[in-house]
A and B are shown apart, each in its own frame.
Chain A
Amino acid sequence: MNSSETAQRPLVLLGPQPEFATLRLALERLRLRGPVALVTAGWEEDEAEDQAWRRMLPPRSVNLGLFKRTEHLFAADPEIIQLLQRRQDELRHLRDMYRVRLGFAIRGAQHVEQATSDLVDFAPERTSAVDMVRQLDREYLARTSAVCERYERLLDLDHRPLVREHRQQLGKILQACGGLVIAGGHAAIILNRLQIFALLPLAAHLPIVACSAGAMALASQIVFFHDGIPQGDTNPEVLRAGMGLVQGILPLPDGSRRLDLSHRSRLGMFAQRFAPLACVLLDADTWLMRDQGVWRGSPHARQLSPHGAAEEFVSV
């Protein structure tokens, strides 16, 4: 993805779509003509159950069926799935180590953050403790990127006939479309499918509307987060690099529900960890639009501040 393409392509990021309110708004704002290409690969086997979404889109819009195409690919060319599974095993091992180290680093930073002394100002220690977490995130991002690049070379998808065939089919479909809509779902699966089919270069001429996990997949890095999972306190964690189409923004879909917004020290740490990215709560009533290379948000758009508040989003 070259930088001018990255900056100029019309792009809208949305949150969950229970009533399709912001999707409707985005389609109007972008004045999408003609059919729209839809990606629902994040729903996995339920990919084709897109009737409600298709009703929102212009006539003759088409689901690209990336999940089903990948299943076909895996069956016909088993080496692809074998390599991807090996990659996944390596990534899982790296993640397990990252989680352990992250847990210690964050507990340390939290401890320092709450420490007080009549004699000493702990401000340098606080900065240093957060820097250690940032360093860990950076290292992990670099390690996972290296693994993915190595497997990209091994997979050599550009030269696999069946992949090329699918890409040609997709290219033709996209040529007839006026836009690309990426629905949410399983973030890693969306990312994988976009990469396997090189979808963004194929759709380089199209404006994109990306919802929830779709928005995450387009970012420079994907960060998983949820403060209310049943098994207790879980630290936000980097998955790996995203498609890099979205710069300067870390999308946090449904952030107001997934995050405990009253836990300011935790939120502050979140914002500091990923600065200078703006950690934006992509709620159901929120949209972000890139206009002339600048991100602007809806009136309800909020981002996390270094002090742990959910503040009004400012242009990036």
Chain B
Amino acid sequence: MSRPNAAHARLPADAAPHYSKWLAEREMPVVEDSGVTFLFQGPAERVFLRHWIYGLPANLEMHRVEGTDIWARTLRFPEGSRIEYKFGVVRNHHEQWIHDPKNPRIAMDPFGGNSVVYGPGYQIPAWAQTAPQVPRGIFHEVAVASRAFGDQRNIRVYVPAGYRTYRRYRLLIVHDGDDYLRYSSLATVLDNLIHRLEIPPLVVALTNPHQRLQEYAGDPRHADHLVLEVLPELQQRYSLIQESSGRCMLGASFGGVAALSTAWRHPAAFDNLILQSGSFAFTDIGEHNRSPVFDPVVAFMNEFRRNPGIPAKRIFVSCGVYESLIYENRSLVPFLQSRGIEVNFAEARDGHNWENWRDRLRDGLSWIFPGPLWVTYL
């Protein structure tokens, strides 16, 4: 059956009398090799497709199908892409952003989440989905008194299944740890990758900021807190590899800046970083054109670019090609490599969101800490 599309927003004649039933029987949007058709049904003055694809016009207006209350827009998405969106529905001159009511797929995030559509060939990775036979790690709560911040920080620690005090474990410190758990299925990913021998069993410290936009924007207090307060506490409590080669920090967006800043301020502490869609805004000439919250980030990044040192030996960098930050992340790669740092860079047809970061975890973690899969035959 044909359907409304961008060029000719109309329903087929035979469907028109029954279009509500026609729509009710389908999950939206309609994904085909030829394109993805978004459909919204309801009274409105105008309807927009709101998305976060950098480079695409922000105001993608949907077109009313003549004689109906259906609004439609067709876009062509490439292989393997994953797009988050909302509908902007204008009523009484007021635009309200809503999830696609006909699409059950919601990608959650700290702001509530977005509808999500998978382009041809995209699949949620099997290693990001729970499997009944996989042993699960457990969580401990650790309180760390912080001189750096003058308060107490509560850290959740993932302890892998089968943890033994007689073994030494690698340590991963995660920025925005609770968000990684909630929105990037981090515990499931860790359980699965460890079970598949793709990474070794890890102890994972999930840290969370109190004032994210300040603490994660290159704040030296944060770096001191992690290295001088959190790290010793974890070393005391858990059986960890003592060398910096056994440590890694993970962060996304501002969390990526926080990880880089911490490693830069304490260059012997961590050999490894995983930086996902880092907000690495910088200026070579004049002022930056991002929001004021980026001011301290730009100040840090400019200082880092003037005097990079060697913050870590191996850095995994990933970014979505639909993010505005793709330019900064791409430019970071040769910059780090010029310092003799081993860099693994991954791009994805995705945006600045937690499921993008989830989908890159296997590549990053298994590159930083390869598991014993190659040498183990159970």
Contact = CB atoms under 8 A, between A and B. Distances in A.
Given A185-B378, A231-B366, A254-B378, 5 more contacts: A45-B167, A213-B377, A224-B374, A229-B198, A229-B373
Interface string A23-58: 000000000000000000010011000000000000
Interface in B264-290: none
B166 A45 contact: yes
A188 interface: yes
A234 B366 CA distance: 14
Nearest to A253: B377
Contacts of A213: 376-378
Interface in A73-121: none
B7 interface: no
A234 B164 CA distance: 31
A188 B377 CA distance: 10
Contacts of B378: 16, 184-185, 212-213, 254
Interface in A239-290: 253-254
B61 interface: no
Contact of A186 (B166, B366, B376): B376
B63 interface: no
A226 B373 contact: yes
B358 to A, nearest CB: 15
Nearest to B376: A186
A161 interface: no
A46 B376 contact: no
Q: Which 5 A-B pairs have the closest CB atoms?
A: A230-B366, A213-B377, A253-B377, A212-B377, A184-B378
B362 A186 contact: no
B13 interface: no
Nearest to B362: A230
Interface string B355-378: 000000011001100101111111
Interface in A164-200: 184-188
Contacts of A224: 374-375
A46 to B, nearest CB: 7
19 contacts: A16-B378, A45-B166, A45-B167, A185-B378, A186-B376, A187-B375, A187-B376, A212-B378, A213-B376, A213-B377, A224-B374, A224-B375, A226-B373, A226-B374, A229-B198, A230-B366, A230-B367, A231-B367, A254-B378
B167 A234 contact: no
A224 B376 CA distance: 9
Nearest to A43: B378
Nearest to B167: A45
Contacts of A253: 377
Interface of A: 16, 42, 45-46, 184-188, 212-213, 216, 224, 226, 229-231, 234, 253-254
A187 B166 CA distance: 22
Contacts of A187: 375-377
A231 B370 contact: yes
Nearest to A214: B377
Contacts of B375: 186-188, 224
B377 A229 contact: no
Contacts of B164: 45-46
Chain A interface mostly helix, strand, loop or mixed? Answer: mixed
Interface string B60-95: 000000000000000000000000000000000000
Contact of A46 (B162, B367, B373, B374): B162
B318 to A, nearest CB: 14
Contacts of A185: 376-378
A185 B197 CA distance: 11
A224 to B, nearest CB: 6
Contact of B363 (A45, A186, A230): A230
A248 B181 CA distance: 50
B377 A184 contact: yes
B268 to A, nearest CB: 24
A234 B372 contact: no
Contacts of A188: 375
A213 B374 CA distance: 11
A55 to B, nearest CB: 17
Contacts of A16: 377-378
Given A45-B164, A45-B167, A46-B164, A229 B374 contact: yes
B162 to A, nearest CB: 7
Nearest to A237: B374
A50 B63 CA distance: 66
B377 A216 contact: yes
Pick from B198, B370, B375 the residue with the most CB of A within 10 Å. B375
Interface in B223-270: none
B161 to A, nearest CB: 12
A213 B362 CA distance: 25
Contacts of B367: 230-231
Interface string B136-164: 00000000000000000000000000101
B135 to A, nearest CB: 13
Nearest to B193: A230
Contacts of A234: 374
A242 B363 CA distance: 32
A255 B375 CA distance: 14
Contacts of A42: 376
A254 B376 CA distance: 11
